[in-house]
């Protein structure tokens, strides 16, 4: 029996899906559905398909239509036009690397849950003023890593984070142990070489290992 997808209303809902959010850069739309199904078999029923390639929007559309048990989101959304296109393609949530006024307004207008990127307290406070209590901490390792997240827990204890950028199986557990981290974003679940070769069994194994990680927050 196909599992019913989780209902997403806020950014915090995105953080609660699982310990690791796959950050997927896809080169061929044809790979989208088998990739989503391999992740789901491994226990990972969400994926952020980035708009870094021309295949991104088409991949989101295919997964949304053909793998309903998977919550598919659009990542690397950087313009209002991309936000609207992702919504039309069937994205269930949107992830941005940052948030200008126009971009933030456009994403909020879609009504989709948002994980907006931030790496400074000013950016975090600004997002909180717009009702965003869950934030993508990006680029995580380059911006101070776990030490930074421990420090900001003092002034913004009500904000939850999804660190992305430089997260690996070796350091994911350290991030997930922090009480203000709900999940991490990682590209290691869908290595380009495995996707290109169609090694869905290997990707299923990577997903199963990631699904077994525990979040501290």
Residue 6 has what pLDDT?
A: 79
Residue 216 pLDDT > 70: no
204 an active-site residue?
A: no
Residue 166 pLDDT > 70: yes
CATH of range 11-202; options 3.40.47.10, 3.20.20.70, 1.10.260.40, 3.65.10.10: 3.20.20.70
CB of 12 closer than 8 Å to CB of 160 = yes
Enter the pTM of the model. 0.95
C-alpha dihedral sign at 87, 89, 90, 96: negative
136 an active-site residue?
A: yes
Catalytic residue, chosen from 61, 82, 136, 141, is 136
Residue 42 pLDDT > 60: yes
Average pLDDT for the chain: 95
Instruction: Give residue 5's pLDDT band: very low, low, confident or very high (50, 70, 90).
Output: low
Instruction: Give residue 217's pLDDT band: very low, low, confident or very high (50, 70, 90).
Output: very low
Residues 6+ apart with CB under 8 A from 164: 21, 23, 117, 136, 137, 138, 139, 140, 184, 185, 186
Catalytic residue, chosen from 48, 82, 141, 204, is 48
Interatomic CA distance for residues 201 and 90, integer angstroms: 27
Residue 1 pLDDT > 50: no
């Amino acid at each position: 029996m196909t599992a019913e997808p989780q209902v997403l209303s806020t950014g915090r809902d995105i953080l609660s899906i699982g310990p690791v959010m796959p950050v997927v850069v896809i080169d061929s739309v044809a790979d989208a559905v088998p990739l989503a199904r391999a992740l789901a078999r491994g226990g990972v029923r969400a994926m952020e398909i980035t708009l870094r390639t021309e295949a991104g929007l088409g991949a989101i559309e295919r997964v949304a239509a053909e793998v309903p048990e998977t919550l598919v989101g659009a990542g690397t959304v950087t313009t209002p036009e991309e936000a609207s296109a992702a919504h039309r393609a069937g994205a269930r949530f949107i992830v941005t690397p940052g948030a200008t006024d126009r971009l933030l307004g456009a994403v909020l207008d879609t009504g989709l849950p948002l994980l907006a990127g931030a790496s400074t307290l000013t950016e975090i406070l600004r997002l909180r003023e717009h009702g965003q209590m869950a934030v993508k901490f990006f680029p995580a390792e380059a911006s101070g890593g776990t030490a930074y997240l421990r420090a900001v827990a003092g002034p913004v204890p009500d904000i939850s984070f999804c660190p992305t950028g430089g997260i690996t199986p070796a350091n994911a557990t350290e991030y997930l142990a922090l009480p203000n981290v709900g999940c991490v974003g990682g590209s290691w679940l869908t290595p380009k070489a495995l996707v290109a070769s169609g090694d869905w069994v290997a990707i299923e194994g990577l997903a199963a290992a990631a699904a077994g990680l525990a979040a501290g927050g």
